[in-house]
Each structure stands twice: as C-alpha cells, then as structure tokens.
Chain A
C-alpha cells in the first residue's frame, strides 16, 4: 500500500490525462452496463410494481393467453374448493385525450359489491371512494380515478373525461376518487377503475374476461389450489401467482437485456485493451524505476502486486465513475425503453423512478476491477521479470522480440485450427461460442504482426504524401508494436462490431423490406387500436360485415392475433383466412411445399410457423405442434415454415376457423382490405368513416403508414444497436488518444530533434496527425477482416439464440466505405490534443529527455 502511494500515485499524478484515458474504457463499459440494465430493471420494476399493486391481495391469477375466456369460467373458479374470492378482470391501456398525459391503465373489476375495492385498495373503513355504488354500476360511463390523477388533471366527482372506446371517443364520468394507496401508485398513478361488465362493452371483449384474480381460503396452501385449478381448467389456462406476469414481461424484454450485456461486454473488452496497452507502456517507461525498486530489495512478487493493485484501483475508480455515469443516463434510457417496449409488445409501462439494484452496482464495480486486473496481468508479470541490472541501463525496450511474435502467431493459428474444427464438426452451443471467443483471441494475437506488416506497407505511401512527417509517423507505428497494437486492436474490435451489427442491421432491413413487400400488400388496414401492437380493443365479427359493404373493396381479410404461451415463452398467434392469404400475399416456404402448405393450413390440417419460431423452439416441418386452448390442447402438424418477421418471439399462423373453434372467439383485431383497381384509399377511407362513425371505433392505416411504422420500429430497434456502435467507436477513439499521448511522450526527444533541425510547429503536428490516421487505417483494415468473421457469428447468434431470424450474409460494403471518413475523422480528432502537447514545452528539455 505504501508503495502504491509512493510510486503509483506519483506516476498517475504526473500522467493525469493518460490515467483518465486509461480509465475511460472501464468508465464507458460500466456506464453502459449500469445504464442499460438499470433502465431495463427500472422498467421491469415499474411493471412489477404495477402488477403487484394491482394484484393487491391476489394470490393467483387465471389467464388464457391474450385470448381471454368465457364468463362461465368465473363461476367454476369461484365454486372451486379452496377459493375464497375470485374476481374477473379486464385490463386495458388507453390513450388519454388529455394534453400529453400519455396512457392510462384501465383496470376493470367486478363492482357488484365493494369486495373488489376492498381487496384492491387494501384500505379498511374507506367508503368515500365511490360516491354512489349503485349509480356507479348502473351507468357504464362510470370511472374511478386516483387522487393523484384527479388533482393533476383538475378532476372532481362528476367531472367528464374522454377516452377512446370501441365506438369512438366516449365521455366518462368520474364517480369515484381513490385514496392514495399502493394501488394508486401503480402505472405512475395513471390508473382508473371501472366496472368489468361495462369494460366488456367499451373494449369490445364480448362476454369474456382477460383474467381472474383470486385469493385462497385461509390456511389453504396456494400451491394446492393452483394445482387443483390447473387440473380443473385444463391446459388452455394458466394459473400463476401475479409475479409470473413479471416473468413474461421479462421474457419479452430479454432480447434487450442480452443486447445491453453484449454492448457493455464489448465496451469493457475494448477497454481492457486500452488498459493492457497503458500498463504495457507504463511498465516499459518505468523500467528504471522498477530496476531501482528491485535493486533496493523489492521482490518480484511485490512488483507484480504493485502493478496489479494499481490496476485494481484504476478499475475501481473507473467502475465507480461508470456506475455514477450509468445511473445518470439510466433515466433517459428508461424513458425511451418504456416507450419502445410499448411499441413493440404493446405493454406500455412508465418507469417513474430509477431502480438501482445494489447487486447490479456491486457486480458492475467488480466487473470493472476484474477487467482491469485481467488487462494488467501480463504487463504486471512483465514488470516482475524486469532484470534490475539491465533496467538501469539506458536503451529501448519497446520492440517485441521476434520470438515472442512467433509464439503469438503459432498460438493464433493453432486456435484458428480449433475454431475451424468446432464449426465444421459440431453444432454444439459451447463449441460455437467458444469458437467465437477463440477466433477473437487468435485475431488479437495476430494484430501486432499484421499491424506491423500493414504499417510497413503504408510507409512508402505515406512517404510520398509527406516525406518527413509521413515517414516518421509510419516508423513510429512500426517501431513500437506494443504501444500501437493495443490501440489498433481496440479500434479493430470496435470496427468489427460496427461491421457485424451494421451488417446484421442491413440484412435485417433487406429481409424485412422484402417481407413487407410480399406480406404487407393490402391497401388498407383497419385496426381497433391506435397502435398495431396493442390489442386492448377488438372488433366484433359484425364489424367485418359493415366493412364488406364498402364500394370498391375487392378482398376483406379478418385477422385476430395475440400472445400465447408456448413452452413457457410468449409467442404470437395469427388467425387469418389462409385461403385468402395464399391468393393475396404469398410467402414462399422455407421449409415445406409452397404449393400445398397454404391449402393444408386453410383446411385446418396444420400450422404454418414463422422461421424464427421454428428456430427458437426447434420445431420443424412435419413435427406435431401442441397449443393449449381453452378447450384443451390442440395438436396439429407443422405444414410449412415461412420467413415472417411479425414478432421477435415467433409466430404461429393458423386458419381463422381453427381459432374460432378452439378458442370460442370470433373477434377480430385487424381487417386487411384490398381495393379494386382504380379505387383510391382516400375514397374508401371517407366512406368507412362516414358509415361507421359513432358505431365502431377504428383506425385506418394505409399500406404506406404501416410500412413506415414497421420501419420506425426497426429503426428504433437498431437505434439501440447504433448506441452500441457509438460507444464502441468512442472507446476505440479514446484508445487512439491514449496511444498518441504515450507516443508523444516516448518520442519527445525525436520530436525535439525534429524541431531543432528546423521543423515548424505545423510539421510536428502533422506527424502526430498522420500517426493517428495511420493507426486509423491499420485499425480499419484489420477491423474489416475481423468484421468478416464477426458478422458471420452475429448472424448465426441471432438465428440461434436471439430472434431465430435467418439472415443472408451480406458484407456491408456501403457501411465499410462510410467508416473511412468517420474513423479517420475521429482519429484526427483524437490527435488534436496530443499534437498540441507535442509542440508545447521546452525544446531543450526534450532534447535532454531520456
């Protein structure tokens, strides 16, 4: 410890900028990790809080996917032994027509008695919440809002509020104001309660409920009642504790979490190189200091410990800064994440507070320290091996020995051999990811060799461009692979990440565009909700009859979709008239026979799966697929697999008749319209609005609207990717700054000589700039090579584990080209400060500098 204070602290103080830069990788990596996870957790926590608050005393919840179930189920559940009380629930998130108030969560419960209220609000002796219970249930426009909501919007008893109902905007009357309680803080206070039977009408649920909340008799084990109910209701129903909803939500947002991990890991990995680099340089620069320490009696172990302790402290400081920074950005991320999850999954959630999990924060700190320790391990060992006698002599020790380089090369090729073996002989997951890891290591081991080789190749070119500055810059790279290769590795890694993610994004856009072109070809879409992923509202089947009468409509397709649980995962079902689908938007089979697949599915003989469903659940052509329905399990063979991107969790396509029969549900959420030639979308829109105004609430999306919407969602999704790319490039650029800072210190004498023999200041600056650009060029070239491999793995990874999407391998040439100005510009930017530093300071000192 004393040594650290005496030696390391002095060194760090002397090299403030460099110490800060060295930490930057850790700071960013940890910040991204903490920021993204905290945001995710906050949204999760808000969701779970809402679920819990709403659940109140609920011990179990009965659901049947998103399809809902018939009312009679309620009586069966209420009559089941062990059930103390069971209340029907309908839940919907509705857009408020109030100034920028966003959404409100409507919780519709049975208000026959005050039972539900008591159980929900958990407040005893409160009975002023509802002005007049009889009026409340007698009038279907009754609404009870939270005190917070009421005061925020200046609402009082008998105030009117307009919400979107099935038949258009409808005015509701506030007939109750809830006292502040656990419940009222759910969904950020934007919560209203209405009668469940009124809600059936308002939200087009027919005679169905979404859910039954129940509590068991005192003394009865919850698990026993759960098992009993599960048995009684059959496999179409799920009986779970309320916490299970959180798990489902978690499953939905898991892709995001994985993404957050990937980004932070990459940032840390790149940061690790910067630290390695800095320490390797520090060890070289401090050789004489180490020599003196050794001469004074420090053991090898002590030297190694000194450097490791230094790195641990550095890691800790960086991680601490990262944690703070991460918490700072978490709020912003959580806002956009909440919105984004709402858009994609229709689960709107507002996170009002940031949930900082101490475990996560501690983990992040540990991560920073461990990363730093790993990075410093080899340099620390190198320091320990410094020979005190040789260290006290002057000289250069930068150059990697030829032997060391050979060992690296041999190791790299051996590793690559293992990887090729892994890929060609096994599909095993560990082998796959292990292979990826080994490829990266092999690539990194080769970086010094390739970088030196590339720099040599660049030298003549740079010499022609700027004889002195160019040559010196190139030589600086060639001569100090240890200094350079860290920065080059970091840059190459981040460029490969850009190529991999960018390539995947490109491939996804192409695939999604192609899919939209074929599958999204109706001229108009009518939906029951403003947002196509929200399924709070549904049309009764009679709506379709009204639409069919519209003049100029060629084909009307009825769609009902929603989420089901399959093997514990939330998958999407789409029930549609498949015969019509085949005629209008024919997606060729990826597996199966395109010509018969639709006919068989239309006849109710089987399911058609999306490619990602088949991948994620490993169900393929000909396999039987069992879905749980309210009428019991339904098993049909898979008759085909198509490339469909409707949902990240996989889609099952079935004929509408199959759904109606097995789910006892003929409601619709989307109507797809094809118009006759010559009929305009606008004319049809006007006709529909005229005819249906005031009868049924609906939203019209034109073909272009919907495509724009899908593109927007895709953009948002890849927006996250672009954050990753930005972080990766940022860390790499910090690496360049770091390397250049070291470079000018190392070359202080050389730069002094240059000035002494007549170099003007801009000439000195230029050589630093050129060095940065050379690092950029070498990093880009190696990064492009890495990218080839990384893209392969990323596409495989997304197919295997994330979204089950099979994407074409297309190298993003355009993006590679665009990277040149970006990276070189960034490199130049990184060189500005070091270059200024190089021309400042005393010439005399630099000439004497050693």
Chain B
C-alpha cells in the first residue's frame, strides 16, 4: 500500500461511520419486495442440498416484516418462517410446520443457532436498525474488487446478538455492502459475501448471497430469482393467523 493510499484512508475516516451505514440502508430501501430463493447448502462432508423458498417482505428497513415459505423439495414444502423486526429489540420469529399443523416460536436463545441446517443463523435473517449498534470507521479497503469503507458495528445490548462485533465492507460508489465478517470474541465465525450486485427496478440488489460458516466449514449460497420490488403485498399476510392458514 502506497503512502498516498494511507493518507487517503485517514482522510476518509472523517466521514462518519454511522452516516454511511444509514445512507446505505436508506438508498436501498423499498416498501415491499418479493423473490424466489434457491438455497444451496454445501456441507463440509460434501453432501449438498438444494431448497427453494418464496420470500416476501414489507416495511422499512429495521421495522419490516418478512415471510419465507419453502416450496421445494416436497418434504419441506409449506414450512414457513415469519419474521417481525422491531427497531428497539430483537425480532420475533415464528415457524409453521404444515405436517404438525402448528406454529412454534423461535426463542431468543435459539437465534444464534443454525437456521434449518443452513450456514445462516436465525439472527442473520433479521434486520437491525442502526440505533441498535455503535459504529466505528476502520478505514478503506478494496473488497470484491471494489473500493469500500470498512466499518465495525458493535451491538449496544450485549444480549441482543451472538456476535461481539461485525465488520462490514460498503462500496463507496453505490453505498452497497459487499461483505460482512461476524466475530465471536476475536474469531471470525461467519463471512457473508454479496455478489451479483445489479440494479433491479432501479434498486441495487445482490442476487447472490454467499454465507460461510468458518467453524463448521460449511457454505450456503442463496440465489435470488424473480426479484420484484414494490409489489402489492398486504400487511395481513405477515401475521401469525395468516402463517397458520398457510397463505
């Protein structure tokens, strides 16, 4: 790294880390969203699996509601997860199991566990309002071939997250995150890459998410298909009653 680059990095720190994150969330805000996800889990033993789900989301970042419902393979068809994000606290999450015809709450204590055998944890599925964390600018770095800000976020309430801190890389040109590294103590335990960043309906979106679990040495790829923004979705879809009806 040249002397100049170093100088530049120091200069960029002048920009407030919180503002960057806030800007990033504001820019890519959409009122509603729907897509079909293809979930590929690559296990360290070489056994892989593929599942599909339909994802709908409504509301602003940090206070949105989301519903994902599996559509394939047949063994898991109909299994659904309802996430209700709150600005001031951890989200509420419920799961629906059609075979048992009942819902179950995903307890807070389970948020750090793996979401349905993927490399995501339940917590990784929630959206967190900026007010829930403190941010710190670590500098500028090239990530995924792009110039980025490197920002560290630390949760304000210790209980709110399994992670001690999260380091994120946000593209300077479009304020879009390309990489997250999640820490437990001083160890990176998960690494999330945003790939295939394209504009859909004028909104920048990552069409492929790649989550690595460094402890278990597994990898999960989520590909987004049929992505639509600002679709007509009703608020009633995102209730426990609707979840139970299997809509």
The answer to whether any beta carbons of A and B sit under 8 Å apart in the complex is: yes
Q: Which residues of A contact B (CB under 8 A)?
A: 74-75, 78, 84-86, 110, 112-115, 118, 125, 127-128, 130-135, 137-140, 197-198, 201
Can you show 12 pairs from A to B with CB atoms below 8 A apart? A75-B107, A78-B108, A112-B107, A114-B114, A114-B117, A115-B112, A127-B216, A132-B49, A133-B116, A134-B51, A137-B97, A198-B100
User: How far is the CB of A540 from the nearest CB of chain B, in Å?
Assistant: 15
With A112-B106, A127-B216, A139-B99 in contact, is A134–B79 under 8 Å at CB?
A: yes
With A112-B107, A112-B110 in contact, is A134–B216 under 8 Å at CB?
A: no
Q: How far is the CA of A139 from the CA of B116 in the complex (A)?
A: 13
Q: Which residues from chain A contact B75 at a C-beta distance below 8 Å?
A: 135, 138-139
Find the A residue at minimum CB distance from B76.
A138
With A127-B43, A134-B116, A201-B100 in contact, is A115–B79 under 8 Å at CB?
A: no
Q: Is B104 an interface residue (CB 8 A)?
A: yes
Q: Is B169 an interface residue (CB 8 A)?
A: no
Q: How far is the CA of A115 from the CA of B162 in the complex (A)?
A: 13
Contact of B113 among A78, A114, A140, A198 (CB under 8 A): A114
Q: How far is the CA of A131 from the CA of B116 in the complex (A)?
A: 11
Q: Is B70 an interface residue (CB 8 A)?
A: yes
Q: How far is the CA of A793 from the CA of B117 in the complex (A)?
A: 65
Q: Is B102 an interface residue (CB 8 A)?
A: yes
With A115-B113, A133-B114, A139-B75 in contact, is A197–B108 under 8 Å at CB?
A: no
Q: How far is the CA of A140 from the CA of B104 in the complex (A)?
A: 14
With A134-B51, A134-B79, A139-B75 in contact, is A78–B109 under 8 Å at CB?
A: yes
Q: Is the CB of B104 within 8 A of A197?
A: yes
**B73-85 to A contact mask, C-beta < 8 Å, 1/0:** 0011011000000
Which 9 A-B residue pairings sit nearest by Cβ, starting from the closest? A113-B113, A133-B117, A134-B116, A113-B110, A115-B113, A138-B76, A85-B109, A135-B75, A138-B79
Q: How far is the CA of A442 from the CA of B29 in the complex (A)?
A: 98
Given contacts A74-B107, A131-B47, A138-B78, 7 further A-B contacts (CB under 8 A): A84-B109, A112-B110, A118-B113, A127-B218, A134-B70, A134-B76, A198-B100
Q: Which residues of B contact A (CB under 8 A)?
A: 43-45, 47, 49, 51, 70, 75-76, 78-79, 95, 97-100, 102, 104-117, 121-122, 215-216, 218
Find the B residue at minimum CB distance from A115.
B113
Q: How far is the CA of A74 from the CA of B121 in the complex (A)?
A: 22
Q: How far is the CA of A130 from the CA of B75 in the complex (A)?
A: 15
Q: Which residues from chain B contact A128 at a C-beta distance below 8 Å?
A: 43, 45
Choose among A78, A85, A134, A201 the residue with the greatest number of B CB atoms under 10 Å from its CB. A134
User: How far is the CB of A83 from the nearest CB of chain B, in Å?
Assistant: 8
Q: Is the CB of A86 within 8 A of B79?
A: no
Contact of B104 among A112, A115, A132 (CB under 8 A): A112
Q: How far is the CA of A373 from the CA of B51 in the complex (A)?
A: 78
Q: How far is the CA of A680 from the CA of B58 in the complex (A)?
A: 65
Q: Which residues from chain A contact B105 at a C-beta distance below 8 Å?
A: 75
Find the A residue at minimum CB distance from B103.
A197
Q: Which residues from chain B contact A84 at a C-beta distance below 8 Å?
A: 109
Q: Which residues from chain A contact B121 at a C-beta distance below 8 Å?
A: 113
User: How far is the CB of B232 from the nearest CB of chain A, in Å?
Assistant: 29
Q: How far is the CA of A113 from the CA of B116 in the complex (A)?
A: 7
Contact of A112 among B43, B78, B95, B102 (CB under 8 A): B95
Q: How far is the CA of A478 from the CA of B60 in the complex (A)?
A: 109
Find the A residue at minimum CB distance from B111.
A113
Choose among B111, B114, B215 the residue with the greatest number of A CB atoms under 10 Å from its CB. B114
Find the A residue at minimum CB distance from B41.
A132
Q: Is the CB of A140 within 8 A of B100?
A: yes
Q: Is the CB of A197 within 8 A of B117?
A: no
Q: Which residues from chain A contact B215 at a C-beta distance below 8 Å?
A: 125
Q: How far is the CA of A201 from the CA of B99 in the complex (A)?
A: 11
User: How far is the CB of A458 from the nearest CB of chain B, in Å?
Assistant: 80
Q: Which residues from chain B contact A75 at a C-beta distance below 8 Å?
A: 105, 107
Q: How far is the CA of A118 from the CA of B109 in the complex (A)?
A: 13
Q: How far is the CA of A134 from the CA of B109 in the complex (A)?
A: 19
Q: How far is the CA of A75 from the CA of B75 in the complex (A)?
A: 29
Find the B residue at minimum CB distance from A133.
B117
Q: Which residues from chain B contact A112 at a C-beta distance below 8 Å?
A: 95, 104, 106-107, 110, 113
User: How far is the CB of A407 from the nearest CB of chain B, in Å?
Assistant: 77
Q: Is the CB of A130 within 8 A of B110?
A: no
Q: Is the CB of A197 within 8 A of B97?
A: yes
Q: How far is the CA of A113 from the CA of B44 in the complex (A)?
A: 19
Q: How far is the CA of A112 from the CA of B81 in the complex (A)?
A: 11
Find the B residue at minimum CB distance from A83.
B109
Find the B residue at minimum CB distance from A136.
B117
Q: How far is the CA of A171 from the CA of B137 in the complex (A)?
A: 57
